[in-house]
């Protein structure tokens, strides 16, 4: 099944969709890289380990629209799908997650329209991450298009767990055996404990370094 053309936001083809959403990804990625460089300059520390960006495939979008009861049109895709463009920001410590989220929120041309804090409130599966849906203006030659992007912020450990869980989910088509789901939850608890211990260790190292400077 293919996405049918429409005229929402003046976007009427998949080629133009990818142009606009890729531009939005580039804008946010560049902003994050600049903020990371600034943080290194001011604090001698980089909160961002690395950044991943992707555009959903047409097949994935059609499947999601169908599941939610919408026709497979470009208009509906733009209106109902918030994660056509996605950025994943990987950091070292849980404290970095909220620091990065605040930096994003303070950008004048980025508008935050939704937040889901799966760090404080993990999913039943054990999944932890911080999700933001934002809009960023993409400036074309003849118009400006406010474009939605989903931003996920998580630690290296959370990303490792989420990657494995994602593979298992698709391998079993969302119906993994009970013992595997239980083991994943236990692993998620171990990841959470690891993140907490590493954060505490980092805070102790910072305190020691500060004392030596006095």
CATH of the domain at 52: 3.30.460.10
Distance (Å, rounded) from C-alpha 31 to C-alpha 162?
A: 25
Per-residue pLDDT, 161: 97
Residue 51 domain-assigned?
yes
Task: Tell me, yes or no, whether 76 lies in a domain.
Answer: yes
Would the pTM of this model clear 0.95, i.e. be above it? no
**DSSP letter at 9?**
G
What pLDDT score was predicted for residue 1?
A: 43
Region of 173 (left: φ > 0; alpha: ψ -120 to 50; beta: rest) is: left
Name every residue whose Cβ is closer than 8 Å to that of residue 98 and which is 6 or more positions away in sequence.
Answer: 130
Supply 67's token pair. Answer: 């599941």
Domain assignment of residue 86, yes or no: yes
| Contacts for 138 with CB less than 8 Å, ≥ 6 apart | 20, 23, 24, 27, 144, 145, 146, 147
Residue 164 counted as domain residue: no
Number of domains comprising the chain: 1
Report if residue 178 sits inside a domain: no
184 in a structural domain: no
CB 156, CB 49: distance < 8 Å? yes
User: 95 in helix, strand or coil?
Assistant: helix
Give SS3 for 179: helix
| Per-residue model confidence (pLDDT) at position 12 | 62
Q: What residues contact 8, with CB distance under 8 A and at least 6 apart?
A: 74, 75, 78, 79
Which helix (H) or strand (E) segment holds residue 140: the answer is: none
Within-domain flag for 165: no
Where do the H-state alpha helices sit in the chain? 14-43, 58-67, 74-80, 94-105, 156-171, 178-213
Residue 92 domain boundaries: 8-157
> Does residue 212 lie in a domain region?
no
Edge-to-edge, what's the strand order for the sheet holding 48-55?
48-55, 85-91, 144-155, 130-139, 111-117
Predicted local confidence at residue 80, as pLDDT: 95
Strand partners for 154: 90
Residue 214 Cα distances to 44, 201, 210, 211, angstroms:
18, 21, 7, 5
Q: How confident is the prediction along the chain (214 residues), in pLDDT tens digits per residue?
A: 456 655 445 556 889 999 999 999 999 999 999 999 999 999 888 999 999 999 999 999 999 999 999 999 999 999 999 999 999 999 999 999 999 999 999 999 999 999 999 999 999 999 999 999 999 999 999 999 999 999 999 999 999 999 999 999 888 877 889 999 999 999 999 999 999 999 999 999 988 988 888 7
pLDDT recorded at residue 209: 84
Half-sphere exposure of 85 (CA within 13 A, CB side): 23
């Amino acid at each position: 099944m293919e996405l049918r053309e429409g005229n929402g936001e003046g976007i009427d083809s998949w080629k133009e969709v990818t142009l606009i959403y890729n531009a939005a990804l580039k804008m946010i990625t560049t902003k994050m890289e600049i903020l990371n460089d600034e943080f290194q300059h001011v604090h001698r520390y980089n909160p961002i380990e690395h950044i991943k960006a992707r555009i959903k495939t047409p097949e994935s979008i059609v499947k999601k629209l169908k599941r939610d009861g919408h026709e497979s049109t470009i208009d509906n895709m733009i209106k109902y799908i918030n994660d056509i463009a996605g950025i994943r920001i990987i950091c070292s410590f849980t404290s970095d997650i909220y620091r990065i989220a605040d930096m994003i929120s303070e950008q004048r041309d980025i508008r935050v329209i939704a937040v889901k804090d799966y760090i404080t409130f993990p999913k039943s599966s054990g999944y932890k991450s911080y999700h933001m849906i934002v809009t960023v203006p993409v400036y074309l030659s003849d118009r400006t298009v406010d474009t939605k992007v989903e931003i996920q912020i998580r630690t290296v450990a959370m990303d490792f767990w989420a990657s494995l869980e994602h593979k298992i989910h698709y391998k079993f088509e969302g119906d993994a055996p009970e013992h595997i789901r239980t083991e994943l939850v236990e692993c998620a608890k171990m990841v959470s404990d690891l993140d907490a211990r590493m954060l505490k260790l980092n805070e102790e190292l910072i305190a020691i370094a500060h004392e030596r400077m006095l």
